[in-house]
Chain A
């Protein structure tokens, strides 16, 4: 097994588009076999991290990020974080970081958020939303006013994913540009629905009423109206 794994890591050095995925399959196999072997798992992660620090083809780094999605820990975050600003690798860095437990991965993405170009801000915002950490709200809030509609919408949806009362407050007090209104309304509804489901009818009702006051589209108005009615039950 170890020999096959060594061969797979050797293959990674030149693993480019067109190479047989079976050349690196031993890495996926090792993920399964090391599940209950902490030392072997740590060794595997260390080897994967080392690849990220070398000059290898994009396909190889993609493969490493896919593996770290499953087994990555806080130890992998410093190697993944610099990739967030790389146009070609930012997504695959998030592929791993979005799922790595602990505060480090979210912190790395929040730090990158202010430094990367607009299209990468969109991706990082969405991953922060999926992680659902309340600590991301202050980083996302200013993006609601971003002049790039895609950035503002991504921040809105991310706040909707966080779905807390604080996220709802940020959304309903935003003054979205026309192109961002759908996203802000949808995210606000998401927050309201989760607040209602959690039994916080007061906060939910306020959120629904704010949405209704924002001259929404017919489908948003209908949704918010039903929400207000549900709060009264």
Chain B
């Protein structure tokens, strides 16, 4: 349970980080580390290089833009949870982030890192998808915006290129009514299944390789969730129907 050897780099600016990502083979970005470090400890990830972005200053802002809220790469989940801007502009994000693990984890974990990690059972990718948000990716080649419905490609796979750094996530102002409801074995665990409602839009998590948009009238249509020790495939489908009903009853 110790990380494998790697070369460690701690750039001081975004440009420096992008230059490193462009030149290094097999580099992984370290932000909050609450998903990456467990993978290193289990040796499920063995990157040759770690690019630690925590020394970059001025990359932890949470601010309003384009009638939404932007969360930069080093804004911790706890900061988002406590943010007055998030509570006012996008309360859906504020509610959802409280469901991510535990406060002690959220003190380090970042919203952008969570999105880049793209765990299919995670809440925030589904929030980005339901609200129609986007992320901003920077590289030595330039900057581009990736819409939520283009970002998630598979289990822990995104459209980010190896030389790109996710510098910011943007969530549109939440429209009423909204809801985030999930079922997990214990508080703070990954959800067996969960739903995010943003007005009339519905996104599901924990039931497919990526978060998916679904029809609120027939949310389980076409889904084939995997089964495991904690929940069978049928039980996950059942949860999707029940949780959707609850989300839209509100």
A associates with B: no
- Chain A interface residues (CB < 8 Å from chain B): none
- Chain B interface residues (CB < 8 Å from chain A): none
